């Protein structure tokens, strides 16, 4: 291992790492020397392809674990297996998230359990399982939140509320896990458009309210993850908006 890499020999568990932003985070961490546990739920094929890609670059450096994050019984084993496989845990990145409309009047208990489960419940219980290991390694916990956890998105009351809870959880854990563990969050703006689709008119309206007048990229989030993981030793309890300025010009 080249010790010039900023994360040489460290291990990371990234939830929802098979595709989109999660996959880019995994690649960025791996490129800096980290070993990767790639969590997925339904995207097993994409996760396996990503692991193969990373293992071609560095043999034995990546593995896939499949789990339903809404099932509490599956959370601690994710952490434990990562520690067993790589000899410890340095980075926990809570990236996995459900996202869809829940207009008031049509909200169901199933939607509540899914959106709260993936966006808030799972990060809490993963953090709880990971805490002893992160304390031992003086590690880092990062939550991927959303600017809509601070400013609600119309017809997304459950999602916005779950992300608001995750923002507060980030701040609470920063106090609970100090001084050994740093806990921060990244709040993306328009980085990748929803997979369910968004019409061009709405996209342009969002960009008009973004001071930089453009969307960001998954790489923008991955670079911010690297900042918190490797270059911010005196930063904890913070929520960093990576949104082109949208949160200040709403």
- Which pLDDT score, from 0 to 100, does residue 250 have? 66
- The catalytic position among 86, 125, 159, 228 is 159
Residue 98 lies in a domain: yes
Residue 119 lies in a domain: yes
Residue 249 lies in a domain: no
* Domain tally, the chain: 1
Residue 210 lies in a domain: no
Residue 238 lies in a domain: yes
Active site residue 159: yes
Residue 5 lies in a domain: no
pTM (predicted TM-score): 0.94
Residue 126 lies in a domain: yes
For the chain, what is the HEC assignment?
A: CCCCCCCCCCEEEECCCCCHHHHHHHHHHHHCCCEEEEEECCCHHHHHHHHHHHHHHCCCCEEEEECCCCCHHHHHHHHHHHHHHHCCCCEEEECCCCCCCECCCCCCHHHHHHHHHHHHHHHHHHHHHHHHHHHHHCCEEEEECCHHHCCCCCCEHHHHHHHHHHHHHHHHHHHHCCCCCEEEEEEECCCCCCCCCCCHHHHHHHHHCCCCCCCCCHHHHHHHHHHHHHCCCCCCCCEEEECCCHHHCC
**Which structural domain, as residue segments, surrounds residue 182?**
11-189+217-242
* Residue 60, domain CATH: 3.40.50.720
- Which pLDDT score, from 0 to 100, does residue 198 have? 64
Give pLDDT tens digits along the chain (250 positions).
555 799 999 999 999 999 999 999 999 999 999 999 999 999 999 999 999 999 999 999 999 999 999 999 999 999 999 999 999 999 999 999 999 999 999 999 999 999 999 999 999 999 999 999 999 999 999 999 999 999 998 999 999 999 999 999 999 999 999 999 999 999 998 877 667 666 777 777 777 788 877 888 999 999 999 999 999 999 999 999 998 888 887 6
Residue 74 lies in a domain: yes
């Amino acid at each position: 291992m080249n010790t010039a890499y900023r994360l040489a020999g460290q291990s990371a568990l990234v939830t929802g790492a098979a595709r989109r932003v999660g996959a880019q985070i995994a690649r960025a961490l791996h490129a800096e020397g980290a070993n990767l546990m790639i969590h997925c739920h339904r995207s097993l094929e994409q996760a396996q392809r990503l692991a193969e890609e990373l293992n071609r670059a560095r043999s034995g450096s990546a593995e896939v674990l499949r789990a339903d994050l809404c099932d509490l019984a599956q959370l601690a084993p994710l952490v434990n297996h990562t520690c067993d496989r790589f000899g410890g845990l340095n980075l926990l990145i809570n990236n996995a998230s459900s996202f869809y409309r829940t207009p008031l009047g049509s909200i169901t208990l199933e939607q509540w359990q899914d959106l709260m489960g993936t966006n808030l419940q799972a990060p809490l219980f993963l953090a709880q399982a990971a805490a002893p290991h992160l304390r031992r390694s003086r590690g880092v916990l990062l939550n991927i939140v959303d600017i809509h956890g601070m400013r609600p998105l119309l017809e997304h009351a459950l999602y916005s509320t779950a992300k608001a809870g995750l923002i507060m959880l980030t701040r609470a854990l920063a106090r609970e896990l100090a001084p050994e563990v740093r806990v921060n969050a990244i709040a993306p703006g328009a980085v990748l458009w929803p997979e369910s689709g968004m019409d061009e008119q709405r996209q342009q309206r969002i960009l008009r309210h973004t001071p930089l007048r453009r969307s960001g990229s998954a790489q923008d989030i991955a670079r911010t993850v690297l900042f918190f993981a490797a270059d911010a030793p005196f930063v904890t309890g913070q929520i960093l908006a990576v949104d082109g300025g949208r949160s200040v010009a709403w």
